[in-house]
Chains A and B, each alone.
Chain A
Amino acid sequence: MNSFSYLRAVNVADAVEDINTKNKAKFIAGGTNILDLMKVNVERPEHLTDLTRLPLTEIQNTEDGGLRLGALATNAVTAWNEQVQQRYPLLAKAILAGASAQLRNMATNGGNLFQRTRCYYFYDTATPCNKREPGSGCSAINGYNRIHAVLGTSEHCIATHPSDMCVALAALDAKVNVTGTKGDWVVDFADFHRLPGDQPELDNNLQPGDLVTSIDLPAKTFSKVQYLKLRDRQSYAFAIVSVAAAIELEGGTIKEIQMALGGVAHKPWRDKSAEAMMIGKTPTKENFRLLAETVLATAKGYSYNSFKIELAKRAIVRAFTEALQAV
């Protein structure tokens, strides 16, 4: 790790001021991603603003009937929260499918949104990587790209966003509350992360120094849900492909359907027009396959990851089949 100074912020105003007045400053929350990256010299902040003592750890009902998750609540506290378990089981399942118990005890809801890709070249400072070093090239496109993206890629970067939690938040239409020097504002989850385009160094649409204070879940809840995570071992591994599936039937046909994919793109992948096409259809395997074909229609495989395309299609069918079995 390089040398840095440290401040433990005690309130939001403190934290925003500290980050915006120090040179090359970064927030630290659970530390599970930023310290990992600092140890391999990918992140080299000169100052850390510690957020862990900010009063943003509550999980509470919102006025419009939804639920607000504090940015500094840990992933574990969030997943085991009674309201989350009962009303947003998809989110609970997704969080518990990620990392390990110890890491979930440290990782925060805010930090989870900002975790960076697990692309091996991004981690290896001896190789070119446009995300780490803009303009240096992408080692993955013609390299070993088994874990990389098949949707929404660009010629500059084919990295995936590694979060499980974010896939569920995308499927559930969450909103992110942000504060910064310009005041407070709200970002739809779909607009939080971005595709790589020609600026793969940017993972999301916030500016450095913006602070996420909480995440809001809408009043609308689903009970027929499944988070299906396919990975190289059964636990404690990142998704190769994951599906967050939520469905509601009425009179034997699909009344509502919301889905996001993980492990396939630079952001959780949502296709609302494909979802809209499913309304009124019967919940058969054939129709879920049709959904899968539509969502993956523009998918493009690279040397080692083309298997993800068929895997994602089958995962979608299985996730909805399993979601319908939920009581």
Chain B
Amino acid sequence: MSGIFKQASGSHATTLAPAPAEPVKVRLKINGQEHVLNIAPWVTLLDALREYIGFTGTKKGCDHGQCGACTVLVDGIRINSCLTLAVMREGQEITTIEGLAHSEDLHPLQKAFIEHDAFQCGYCTPGQICSAVGMFNEGKANTLDDIKEQMSGNICRCGAYNNINAAILQVKGEMAGE
């Protein structure tokens, strides 16, 4: 068994690291406002939002594309902000959970989530809501089964799925004028 735990050579090898890359100037348009950052190229969009700008509504769950907590909208399209670099998103419109409400007027999905008690701890909620907005923009979800499948990229550790689906279905109905 010992072989399995052998240190793979190279993974922590003492080869000379390349000189630290220069910070780059990155202009990001977030929730309608421009932010200019001086950041290293390896800063993810998620870290730029949370650590450099202070938009902490977007959550870090896994940091590996496996949970959906970091979901934001880029030009209206939902993506995982943990698997993209901030520098790659220059010139695009980024919308986070903070950008969905108009002052005191909550987004219909935010209202529906409260109405249906669609959360327990709330950690997955910003990602769930941004993802649902993205799903509506895509316009491919017609049935409850479609919604379940197309929302599968958002894991809820508290298991609030039934209420999340109910909230989404209600807003979908409202949008269809039912």
| A residues lining the B interface (CB < 8 Å) | 1-6, 8, 23, 28, 30-32, 35-36, 38-39, 41, 46, 48, 50, 52, 76, 80, 99-103, 105-106, 125-129, 132-133, 136-137, 139, 143, 234-236
Residues of chain B with a CB closer than 8 A to A46's CB: 18
Is B37 in the interface zone, CB < 8 Å from A? no
A30 to B41, CA, bound (A): 15
Is B87 in the interface zone, CB < 8 Å from A? yes
B 155-170 binary contact with A (CB < 8 Å = 1; else 0) = 1000000000000000
Contact B42 A32 (CB under 8 A): no
Is B14 in the interface zone, CB < 8 Å from A? no
Residues of chain A with a CB closer than 8 A to B150's CB: 101
Contact B135 A126 (CB under 8 A): no
Given contacts A36-B65, A102-B131, A106-B79, contact A4 B21 (CB under 8 A): yes
B 10-32 binary contact with A (CB < 8 Å = 1; else 0) = 11100001111110100000000
* B125–chain A nearest beta-carbon distance, Å: 16
Contact A5 B21 (CB under 8 A): yes
Residues of chain A with a CB closer than 8 A to B135's CB: 101
Given contacts A28-B88, A46-B18, contact A1 B77 (CB under 8 A): no
Residues of chain B with a CB closer than 8 A to A2's CB: 17-18, 42
13 examples of A-B residue contacts, CB within 8 angstroms? A1-B42, A5-B18, A6-B24, A39-B63, A50-B87, A100-B153, A100-B154, A102-B71, A102-B80, A103-B153, A128-B4, A139-B4, A235-B148
Contact A125 B11 (CB under 8 A): yes
Closest chain A residue, CB of each to CB of B72: A102
Contact B64 A80 (CB under 8 A): no
| B residues lining the A interface (CB < 8 Å) | 3-12, 17-22, 24, 40-42, 44, 63-65, 68, 71, 77-80, 83-85, 87-88, 131, 134-135, 138, 140, 148-155
A99 to B88, CA, bound (A): 22
Contact A101 B134 (CB under 8 A): yes
Contact A143 B4 (CB under 8 A): yes
Given contacts A105-B78, A106-B80, contact A133 B9 (CB under 8 A): yes
Q: Which 5 A-B pairs have the closest CB atoms?
A: A100-B153, A125-B11, A235-B152, A6-B41, A236-B152
* B154–chain A nearest beta-carbon distance, Å: 8
* B119–chain A nearest beta-carbon distance, Å: 19
Contact A127 B88 (CB under 8 A): no
A28 to B64, CA, bound (A): 16
A1 to B9, CA, bound (A): 18
Contact B17 A3 (CB under 8 A): yes
Contact B19 A3 (CB under 8 A): yes
Closest chain B residue, CB of each to CB of A124: B8
Closest chain A residue, CB of each to CB of B127: A102
Closest chain B residue, CB of each to CB of A233: B152
Residues of chain A with a CB closer than 8 A to B148's CB: 235
Residues of chain A with a CB closer than 8 A to B65's CB: 32, 36, 99-100, 102-103
Residues of chain B with a CB closer than 8 A to A80's CB: 138, 140
Given contacts A3-B17, A4-B21, A36-B65, contact A127 B78 (CB under 8 A): no
Closest chain B residue, CB of each to CB of A1: B42
Residues of chain B with a CB closer than 8 A to A30's CB: 83-84
A46 to B153, CA, bound (A): 31
A99 to B22, CA, bound (A): 34
